[in-house]
Amino acid sequence: MKTICLHCSSDKGFEYILSREYKSRSYSANLKDYDGEEFEGSMAVVACKNCGALTVYDDTCGWHEDDDICPGEILFPSIIHDHGAIPKKVKEAYEKALRVQWIDPDAFAVLIRKALELVCSLEGAKGHNLQKKLENLKGIKSIPSDIAEAAQALRLSGNIAAHDVEKGLHPLYVHKVDDFFKLILDYIYILPFRIEHFKTYQKLAQQNGGHNSGSSAASIVTP
């Protein structure tokens, strides 16, 4: 799959600007190792050949000027780094939407609405339409009112995008739709995953003895 610019959705490719090697440390997940192991990574800054906006990649394994595909992780602009917490199907649906966000705001909102439907379906939310399913999801996952309202706003944006053939969705809505969807992913998938992870670390730290979980937590590289 060709790498697209997340600022403008263009697939014209990137111009290499600069890269830097950096040193960091990795730690084993059993928390017995307090010194960790040093490793070298690299970050690269590239500019979109279409809009000129910058993208920052981590650990690019080298960058060549005519590369279309960069194997690194995008650090900027902000996308979700979920560490496997988000179901594959939901992540794929979100990435599919991101590819059109700046080309077609209506298509973006409709695809995000579909991704929201998918979240409801995977989480077992019941209802004869998306509005009811979201209400059900709110109960199932104990979603706070503000986040539930954001989910309903996404549903409505998708409706406007699909049915208002004359005007459609204003491009400025793209940021809001994206922010709200990430908020929902954060609450339903990423936050519980991080809390579980933290509990595991606390347990391991107690088992290892000698260090309490507070002092060791600071040195952990979050997986």
Provide, rounded to whole angstroms, the least separation between the CB of residue 56 and Zn ion.
14
Q: Write down how long the chain is.
A: 223
**Binding positions for Zn ion, rule: CB under 5 A:** 5, 7-8, 10, 48, 50-51
Provide, rounded to whole angstroms, the least separation between the CB of residue 42 and Zn ion.
22
With respect to Zn ion, which residue has the nearer C-beta, 48 or 185? Answer: 48
With respect to Zn ion, which residue has the nearer C-beta, 29 or 51? Answer: 51
With respect to Zn ion, which residue has the nearer C-beta, 51 or 140? Answer: 51
Structure tokens at 209: 């003895």
Provide, rounded to whole angstroms, the least separation between the CB of residue 92 and Zn ion.
22
Pairwise CA distance, residues 68 & 81, whole Å: 22
With respect to Zn ion, which residue has the nearer C-beta, 98 or 116? Answer: 98
With respect to Zn ion, which residue has the nearer C-beta, 151 or 178? Answer: 178
With respect to Zn ion, which residue has the nearer C-beta, 5 or 46? Answer: 5
Provide, rounded to whole angstroms, the least separation between the CB of residue 91 and Zn ion.
22
Provide, rounded to whole angstroms, the least separation between the CB of residue 52 and Zn ion.
7
| Distances in whole angstroms, Cα of residue 126 to Cα of each of 4, 72, 133 | 36, 39, 5
Provide, rounded to whole angstroms, the least separation between the CB of residue 51 and Zn ion.
3
